[in-house]
Structure 1
Amino acid sequence: MRKVIITAALTGAGHGKEANPNLPEQPEEIIEQALQCRDAGAAIVHLHARDKSGNNSMSLDIFRKIHEGIKATSDLIVELSTGGGPTLPNEERIAPMLLKPEMASLNTFMMIMPVKGVETPFIYKRSEIEETARRARELGVKPAIAILNFTCLEEAENLIQKGLVDRPYVLDIGLNLPAQGTLRGTWQNLVALVERLPEGAVFNVAAGGEAELSLTTMGMLLGGNPRVGLEDNVYYAPGRLAKNNAELVARTARIARDLNLEIATPDETREILQLRR
């Protein structure tokens, strides 16, 4: 049976406890929920950091505390965010890679996201995308390339053609985000993106809000891997908030088994993705 890799996106950089009081913000909460997700079937945790007020932070000290806490207590693969804020220089965005996590996100998009009611542009220039890929290779970090639309796929192809990323290429498809410049959460959009993926790619599927359950399930049927968590969706069912990230992971693991798929362990995932040892 094929093995699927479950990624848990625990926190995110946008909504907080006002959206779901069970969303982890502080390092101790994030570490605790990461371990719960491991028990539920996750192999990878995708992490953002928050300050004491619950705002997005790129503090290396906070990232270090979370990263070291998870690695000291589990075999989970840690994927740190390099998203940062819309005005940060690229060297500050990618600073979490200095902690040498096994994986890190690599953003490739241009979009406009509402931040506290203000339309805010998030722009990653090609030169910045390429520099992030170079630094990831130097540090032994496997980049997870964000694919929010077809332009992102072109940026991934550019990295591949220039030899800046290594097989297997990890591509993170994300749909149904509340942002201009992204794609709606439809099966047609998912299939169209999957059909365009480069040879040698391993792909994950995430979807915001109510689209998470259907599209992550469809992603598994198309040969991909699911990403779920409170970063992407705060509800377990319509009108019912998720109790924690592990509840979403456990449901995804159950669906995978019902589809006659095996759940990859962290070590099996390291082999599949050829992560550094």
Structure 2
Amino acid sequence: MVADAPPIITCALTGGYHDKATTPALPEQPEEIVEQGIAAWAAGAAVLHVHARDPDGRNTTDREIYREIHTRLCTETDAIVQLTTGGGLSQTYEQRLSTALLSPEMCSLNMGHVLFFTRDGRALMLDNPRAQIEWFAREMLDRGVKPELEVYNPTMLEEVERLVDAGLLQPPLNVGFVLGAPGQSAARGTWQNLCHAVSRLPAGANCSVIGIGRAQLPLTTMGLAMGLNIRVGLEDNVRYSRTEMARDNAQLVERAVRIARELQLRPATPSEAREILGTRGRSAGAVPEPLVADERPRNDPPLTAAAAGDEFSTV
């Protein structure tokens, strides 16, 4: 972490898990996502983390839907727009990579497998084998896309170290600790797990605390007190309190800003966040200038999980 750097607040607007049945406040269509993204930015979020849905509200990797959301958020805010490569739980590697091929400033990059459990009792694997992680990292490196390395348990930090050793990451490293996700191999959202994970961070790495569900408020408050960055938003937590659903994403950002200020901290502006996170930046009101014009992969994809005999496939 940069000494005495202001904390960066990220807002995760939509995600790939909840839907309108969970809360009508969840933005699903581009107009809703852009509207709530602008409000979250105005409330103090320097980074906007984006998933997209199709017209029926299902997870999608449709490049044109992402292009619309990305372009509008870049045009109407000065936030860093961070597109997901996690997507949904049933999408192929090629589909999930499509967002990085738009050359945003940042993309998320999951560092390992997580077996998620849905509300109706199904088990779905978000599979991230090493070959796929390296493929995504190579494409991002070639395109100047800064990855946020999503770590669901401390062991996944070893995958971060492997990418560093392979020359696939450039400093500064940006790690997101996801704690409390509803899945196997995802660490619980406890202060002990947060402290342990932070103790294992690579030297000089930035860290964003991502608490899921009821863990969001206590862990992000702890994160601010520890000098870390934080993420809030309806992707991770749809409640404002145990008895009250969140009004929208901006309400969760507003509370995070209030807590930061009570701790005598000033949240980072988007320009400060760019300097801290090491993104390539963009001109005001414009999408980032692509380093590679071709929106096709430059590197050969790995074998699919099935072709490689990988038992960790969607179930």
TM-score scaled by structure 1?
A: 0.97
**Structure 1 gaps, min length 5:** none
**Structure 1 Cα separation of the partners of residues 75 and 88 of structure 2:** 29
**Structure 1 Cα separation of the partners of residues 231 and 90 of structure 2:** 27
Residue identity in the other structure for 2:150: A
SS in 1 for 2:184: coil
Alignment deviations for residues 156-181 of structure 1 (CA, whole Å, 9 cap, x no partner): 11111222111110000010111111
- Residue 162 of structure 1 corresponds to which residue in structure 2? 166
Correspondent of 2:200 among 188, 196, 199 = 196
**Structure 1 Cα separation of the partners of residues 90 and 19 of structure 2:** 21
SS in 2 for 1:198: coil
Question: Which of the pair has more CA radius of gyration?
Answer: 2
**Structure 2 Cα separation of the partners of residues 114 and 122 of structure 1:** 11
Cα drift, residue 96 of structure 1: 0.6
More strand by share: 1
> Could you tell me whether the CA contact under 8 Å between 1:212 and 1:232 is conserved in 2?
yes
> Could you tell me whether the CA contact under 8 Å between 1:46 and 1:80 is conserved in 2?
yes
- Residue 39 of structure 1 corresponds to which residue in structure 2? 42
Residue identity in the other structure for 2:166: K
- Residue 129 of structure 1 corresponds to which residue in structure 2? 133
Residue identity in the other structure for 1:138: D
**Structure 2 gaps, min length 5:** 282-315
Correspondent of 1:83 among 77, 81, 86 = 86
- Residue 112 of structure 2 corresponds to which residue in structure 1? 109
> Could you tell me whether the CA contact under 8 Å between 1:84 and 1:93 is conserved in 2?
yes
**Structure 2 Cα separation of the partners of residues 64 and 78 of structure 1:** 11
**Structure 2 Cα separation of the partners of residues 209 and 254 of structure 1:** 20
- Residue 97 of structure 1 corresponds to which residue in structure 2? 100
TM-score scaled by structure 2?
A: 0.86
Note if 1:180 corresponds to 2:180: no
- Residue 6 of structure 2 corresponds to which residue in structure 1? 3
Note if 1:251 corresponds to 2:250: no
Cα drift, residue 249 of structure 1: 0.2
- Residue 278 of structure 2 corresponds to which residue in structure 1? 274
Moved over 4 A (4+): none
**Structure 1 Cα separation of the partners of residues 61 and 191 of structure 2:** 34
Matches within 5 A, 1:205-244: 205-244=209-248
Correspondent of 1:30 among 18, 33, 37 = 33
> Could you tell me whether the CA contact under 8 Å between 1:77 and 1:103 is conserved in 2?
yes
SS in 2 for 1:28: helix
More helix by share: 1
> Could you tell me whether the CA contact under 8 Å between 1:26 and 1:52 is conserved in 2?
yes
Residue identity in the other structure for 1:192: H
User: Percent sequence identity over matched residues?
Assistant: 47
**Structure 2 Cα separation of the partners of residues 86 and 73 of structure 1:** 30
Residue identity in the other structure for 1:140: G
- Residue 151 of structure 2 corresponds to which residue in structure 1? 147
Number of aligned residues? 277
